[in-house]
Every structure is written in C-alpha cells, then in structure tokens.
Amino acid sequence: MKKKHLLLIGLAVMMGILMVGGVSAQAKATNKTVTFGQLTNKNTNRLAAIRQAAREQILKQTKSKSSKVAAVYKVKLPKHMTKKATLTATGLRMNLLANSFKVKQITIPYTQLQGKILNRYLPKANRTTSVKTNKMVALTFDDGPDPTLTPKLLKTLKKYKVHATFFEVGQSVSRYPKISRAVLAGGNELGNHSWNHPDFNTIGTAQTVSQITRTNRAIFQATGTLPQYVRPPYGNITAAEGRAIEQPIIRWSVDSRDWSYLNTTKDISEVMKDTHGGDIVLMHDIHAQSVAAVPTIIKRLKAKGYKLVTVSQLLNYQALPGLQYFGAGDYRTAGK
C-alpha cells in the first residue's frame, strides 16, 4: 500500500509538471513580436491612439492619483513605426524608457485597443465590425456638469433607456465630481471640453494643451478614467493643437443653437428639422429649456426609428487622435 501511495504521488507530481509546462508553452506560443507599423498599417493617427491608451494604462497600473496625470504626458512613448511590441494572451505588451513612474513595461488590454490597431491583431471579441449608422444618432451635451440640470437630464436618459455623450468643463467637474461619476454610472460617455471654455484659436498651442491636461486631470480625479475625446469650445482648433492634444476631436453635424434661443419649443423644432442618421447633435445641459426639450426629442427620434447612441457607438469605436469627427463617416484632419 505504501509503495502504491508513493507511486500515485509521483504520477501526480509528474502530471503537474507536464501541465505547468504545457501552460507555459501555450502562453509562450500566444506571444508574438510585431512592429507598430504592422499594428497600425503605418498610420500615425493609430499610433497616437496607442500612445493615448498607454497613458491610461500607466496610470491604472501604477494606481496613480490625479496629481500624476500631467506627468504621464511626459513619458516617452513610441513614435516610430519600426519600434516593437508583443501581442500576449491578455493585451499588447510594451517596454518603456526610463520614466518618473518607474515602470519598465505595461500591457494594454485588448479592450482598450479596439479600433486603434488593425483587426487581425485583436481577439475576435475585440474586433470592430461594420455597423449601419443610417438609423443611429448621437446626442451630445456641452458645458456641464450642472448641479441641478445634469442630474435631471440623466434621469430622462435612464427613463427612455438611451445614452449620450457629455463634454464637460474642467472647473465644473472639480466642483461637482459626483455628477461626473453619475454620468458614467448611467452608461454615458464623458469628454473633455476645456478647463474654462476659451477659444483655442486665441490662446495658442501651449495654453490649449494646458487646458486639456488640466481637465483630463479633473476628470481622472473624479472618475478614475481619462476622457477619450475632446470637443474644443466653439469648435475652434488648429492643426498644431490637434496634433499636440493626441485625443480624437468631436465636432457636430447638427447645432441646436439652444444657447441662443433658450426656448424649449424652438430647440425641439431645430433638432428635429436637421437631424438624420449618422448625425452628432450639439446641445447643452446648462440650460433648463434645453434639458426640458430632451424628452420630446428622444420620443420623436425614436418614433422615426432612430437609435440614440454614444459618440463611440456612432463612430464604431474607431475615432483617432489628430482627426476631428462631425458625424458617422465624416471626418477630417484637425484644424481643417
């Protein structure tokens, strides 16, 4: 019995070694070295998108506080297509040069790379597929969060089971962080709308970058995430500013001009008159009349068969830094 027992133990140990060896070999087999040129088809906008994803991963991996947001933009990240990375079972592994975070390597999850690298390098679950946008509309709201109106709007969106994208001003995010968290908790998106709403064309690239970075920090402090998109105040941005920001720029194809009317009936008619499939609609969640118009707008758009989605859904998760987007399939270089 004793010999049999020892034999069984020996077999178990051997099986364990084989299994460990098998897992190790399998994991090793999934690793593949690729260049950034291969991952992006030598597209500089896609490479900028990888850098954008890398910054958020550095902050998450190091469990950094918001005070480190400015520093993450100083980390040297790949700008040359010949640089290499590794495709692993869980994500894209990148080596980093010496940096203030003291991180030598990061792995960006594939979920954060959808639409940023070519589909063939992504697991099937994270690949983009074609979507029909002729019956999709993205509602967007600028200048919040407002302590009273934004929560009211969030209740409306929840009631009608739709999601929207909110482009928030940094100084308001700092005052009302709970509302920014509520925006995300409701399944909506948060975007960067500058710190205090200046015209970027009048302040220059350095100040524009400061406005964006400061707001990214406020949003990160409030929510633990960096915003994907930027909407420049008044829609003004130069090509140099667009390159420096390294975030997709979201414009609009339907301007409700709700700020000028401050009239609920007029807001409804203007949106309904101009909105078609693939449009990005611009409104504001700091005007009571605008927020009051949203229930009717939602019901009427739904009655026409439109699905109300986030900007990411409308753009099929493929928006890239250095480009500005006016609607589905309507984009151009920043500053043009």
**10: its two tokens:** 């020996």
**pLDDT confidence of residue 334:** 86
Q: Are 291 and 285 in contact (CB under 8 A)?
A: yes
pLDDT per residue as tens digits for the range 201-222:
999 999 999 999 999 999 999 9
Q: How far is Cα of residue 238 from the mean position of the Cα atoms in its chain?
A: 21
- What does pLDDT average to over the chain? 92
Residue 204 falls in which region: left (phi positive, over 0), alpha (psi -120 to 50) or beta: left
Distance CA(262)–CA(92), nearest Å, equals 48
**pLDDT confidence of residue 139:** 98
Catalytic residue among 142, 143, 146, 279: 142
β pairing state of 165-168 and 105-109: unpaired
Place of tokens 């590794």: 86
State yes or no: pLDDT of 21 exceeds 80: no
Give the pTM: 0.90
Q: What number is the average pLDDT over the span 17-41?
A: 67
% residues pLDDT > 70 (the chain): 91
- DSSP string over 192-240: E--SS---HHHHHHHHHHHHHHHHHHHHHHHHSS--S-B--GGG---HH
pLDDT per residue as tens digits for the range 262-284:
999 999 999 999 999 999 999 99
Residues with Cβ within 8 Å of 22's Cβ and at least 6 positions away in sequence, in order, are none
Distance CA(192)–CA(83), nearest Å, equals 30
CA atoms within 13 A on the CB side of 80: 4
Annotated active-site residue 274? The verdict is: no
State yes or no: pLDDT of 17 exceeds 70: no
For the chain, the farthest-separated pair of C-alpha atoms sits apart, in whole angstroms, at 92
State yes or no: pLDDT of 27 exceeds 50: no
Q: What number is the average pLDDT over the span 86-113?
A: 97
**154: its two tokens:** 């969030």
**pLDDT confidence of residue 30:** 74
**pLDDT confidence of residue 9:** 43
pLDDT per residue as tens digits for the range 143-194:
999 999 999 999 999 999 999 999 999 999 999 999 999 999 999 999 999 9
**pLDDT confidence of residue 92:** 98
**pLDDT confidence of residue 126:** 96
Annotated active-site residue 163? The verdict is: no
Sheet holding 323-327, edge to edge: 249-250, 323-327, 330-333
Catalytic residue among 163, 193, 284, 287: 284
Place of tokens 């984009």: 331
Query: Angle formed by the axes of helices 288-303 and 264-274, to 10°?
Result: 40
**261: its two tokens:** 């009317």
Q: What number is the average pLDDT over the span 12-34?
A: 53
**Distances in whole angstroms, Cα of residue 270 to Cα of each of 42, 65, 262:** 42, 43, 12
pLDDT per residue as tens digits for the range 132-142:
999 999 999 99
